[in-house]
Structure 1
Amino acid sequence: MATFHDKLSLSTLILFCVIVDVCSRGPVYKPPSVERLTDRFSQSTVNKSYDFAFGASNIHVTNNGTSAALSLDKSSGSGLVSRNKYYYGFFNAAMKLPAGFTSGVVVAFYLSNADVFPHNHDEIDIELLGHEKRRDWVLQTNIYGNGSVRSGREEKFYLWFDPTQDFHDYSILWNNHHILFLVDNVPVRQVAHTAAIGSAYPSKAMSVYATIWDGSEWATHGGKYAVDYKYAPFIATMRGIEMEGCVANSKNAMSCSRSGVSSVDPVVGEPFSRLSRQQSGAMEWARRKHMFYSYCQDRNRYKVLPSKCNDN
């Protein structure tokens, strides 16, 4: 039988949950210790690395150009695009996401060359999706190569922290060996460059984008839970910019990780070609505890699983 003290503690907890709206987020997990790839690269500023892509009136660069606030309201979303295009590299943004009811809101950090190859483009995506019920954010990763958009390779994760309370690092490592998606330096997904993936592996120079936009039509069950603009503006803040790779307009860019070591390639060598034991363990933890969807498990979508799934 519960004591008076137990009942009081439970009442206090319920009141705390109502006030701060955290209990619906479920348990908070502490990730395993892992090497910090973000410490291997120097930070840049928003105003040195990016230009405005769209929604300029909804972009506010602050702190002497080191950070930017991207907002979505009923008039427009907003986005930044890198000044350079890259063949390979390490790309990071530390972001703090909008709080409250964010159904249909999409914050994306990704690489793409759709502007140059509209029907044959490559893309590497980190998309953060506002959740329609639990007020959580969902992390979605995806890749396309050479226009293979009909066979998306989505995987979805719940985060092990509240991304609206503080800044967290979202990173992409891309070279000839593999693509890594990392959150706070924890690898959550690895896409190896093997024969099984073939031409679907991104291989052409890409720009780096950071955007916020209305994804109601696809992000929440076909628009079932659309963006509610009475909660606008939705503001995502970013800083901690790291953008080091083979610049497409440099003389030796095409040699990046393709024919031996290149001085212009910052992601070549042992630390970037395979996961360490520590990183492998951390990725297994992230996928076991936090991944809730993988295209390789979607039998409704694929009667015959893609060959890459068999390779894994």
Structure 2
Amino acid sequence: MASSSFSILFTTILLATLVVSTLANFDNEFDITFGDGRARVLNNGQDLTLSLDKYSGSGFRSKNEYLFGKIDMQIKLVPGNSAGSVTTYYLSSMGSAHDEIDFEFLGNVTGQPYTLHTNVFAQGKGNREQQFHLWFDPTEDFHTYSILWNPQRIVFSVDGIPIREFKNMESKGVSFPKDQPMRVYSSLWNADDWATQGGRVKADWSQAPFTASFKAYKAEACVWASGTSSCGSVPSATSGSGWLNQELDSASVERMNWVHKNYMIYNYCADVQRFPQGLPAECANTS
């Protein structure tokens, strides 16, 4: 019995070492990528703010690269008149045939809702946009935005409520991000040529600087370093974390359907005018 207990304990410890889980200190986990002082790490690394003015935005990226993970970030978006601004939070690899998993928050005039824009790129191909309004004001407090990325699916969630699932459908000829490690990025930048009402509403620079705030970053993820994943060559449930094989249960699907019914404002899989030759293959399994 003692030998069996020791074996279970040893296995648990071994598996736990394969997956990195961190509640970030921003100084330790991220590099500022641009902004010339407009990105600021505060409270001994516990908080980070990005600012935008008419001269420049700002951004940061993770020091680590990941090949699969569950990534959480708490964000409080630019308050008031945020028209023309875009706050991004996404995973991306490098190169023209890159993979990318996007949250983008498109600002609006005071009193109008943000547009939450999502997209998935695989091997350089995107054009998989779904957009939502939120069921709360994302400028009043912090909310948790999560990306679950495992070999079977990508799930976007807000405060634990799934809003979008993109399944691995390589069997139907649909590319899926699974071979290229990605870093976590975030930025706040000026996109007033398109972001708000198709570019009709421009940024009001008298309200600058615009500021978004970040905290409580957490990565349960397979770290990629020197061509090797910390989860091994074939990640699976035995790699030490349930998220590697996690899927949506019936309650989660019901909540996602609630979001789609009440808060989705654009779905590329319903845009038949955009795809006159037929909807993309993956759309047969989306709602």
Superposed pair shares fold, TM > 0.5: yes
Choose from 236, 245, 249 the match for 1:276: 249
* Structure 2 residue 285 is matched with structure 1 residue 311: yes
Question: Per the alignment, in what secondary structure is the counterpart of residue 76 of structure 1?
Answer: coil
What does residue range 156-195 of structure 1 map to in structure 2 within 5 Å? Answer: 156-194=131-169, 195=171
Counterpart code for 1:267: W
Distance 1:106 1:257, change over 3 A: farther
Alpha-carbon shift at residue 250 of structure 1 (Å): 6.2
* Structure 2 residue 274 is matched with structure 1 residue 301: yes
Alpha-carbon shift at residue 300 of structure 1 (Å): 2.3
Distance 1:291 1:58, change over 3 A: same
Counterpart position of 1:285: 258
**C-alpha distance in 2 between matches for 1:48 and 1:142:** 28
Percentage of identical aligned residues: 37
**C-alpha distance in 2 between matches for 1:233 and 1:259:** 44
Counterpart position of 1:248: 224
Alpha-carbon shift at residue 131 of structure 1 (Å): 2.2
**C-alpha distance in 2 between matches for 1:258 and 1:142:** 26
**C-alpha distance in 2 between matches for 1:88 and 1:306:** 24
* Farther-moved stretch of structure 1 (43-52 vs 132-141): 132-141
Distance 1:283 1:230, change over 3 A: same
Instruction: Please say if residues 145 and 203 of structure 1, whose CA atoms lie closer than 8 Å, have aligned partners that are also in contact.
Output: no
Choose from 90, 107, 110 the match for 2:70: 90
Counterpart position of 1:112: 92
**C-alpha distance in 2 between matches for 1:110 and 1:190:** 15
Query: Comparing both structures, which one devotes a greater share of its residues to strand?
Result: 2
Counterpart position of 2:193: 217
Choose from 27, 30, 42 the match for 1:47: 27
* Farther-moved stretch of structure 1 (253-262 vs 93-102): 253-262
Alpha-carbon shift at residue 263 of structure 1 (Å): 3.3
* Structure 2 residue 33 is matched with structure 1 residue 58: no
Instruction: Please say if residues 80 and 109 of structure 2, whose CA atoms lie closer than 8 Å, have aligned partners that are also in contact.
Output: no
**C-alpha distance in 2 between matches for 1:148 and 1:51:** 27
Alpha-carbon displacement from aligned partner over 1:35-68 (angstroms, at most 9, x marks no partner):
xxxxxx6522211211111114101111110111
Question: Per the alignment, in what secondary structure is the counterpart of residue 109 of structure 1?
Answer: strand
TM-score (norm 1): 0.79
Instruction: Please say if residues 252 and 264 of structure 1, whose CA atoms lie closer than 8 Å, have aligned partners that are also in contact.
Output: no
* Structure 2 residue 243 is matched with structure 1 residue 263: no
Counterpart code for 1:210: S
* Structure 2 residue 91 is matched with structure 1 residue 122: no
TM-score (norm 2): 0.85
**C-alpha distance in 2 between matches for 1:309 and 1:42:** 35
Alpha-carbon shift at residue 197 of structure 1 (Å): 5.7
Alpha-carbon shift at residue 225 of structure 1 (Å): 1.5
Give unpaired runs (5+ residues) of structure 2.
Answer: 1-20
Distance 1:259 1:58, change over 3 A: closer
Question: Per the alignment, in what secondary structure is the counterpart of residue 261 of structure 2?
Answer: helix
Task: Please list every run of at least 4 consecutive aligned residues from structure 1 whose deviation after the TM superposition is greater than 3 angstroms.
Answer: 200-203, 254-266
* Structure 2 residue 45 is matched with structure 1 residue 71: no
Distance 1:255 1:45, change over 3 A: closer
**C-alpha distance in 2 between matches for 1:223 and 1:188:** 26
Instruction: Please say if residues 82 and 110 of structure 2, whose CA atoms lie closer than 8 Å, have aligned partners that are also in contact.
Output: no
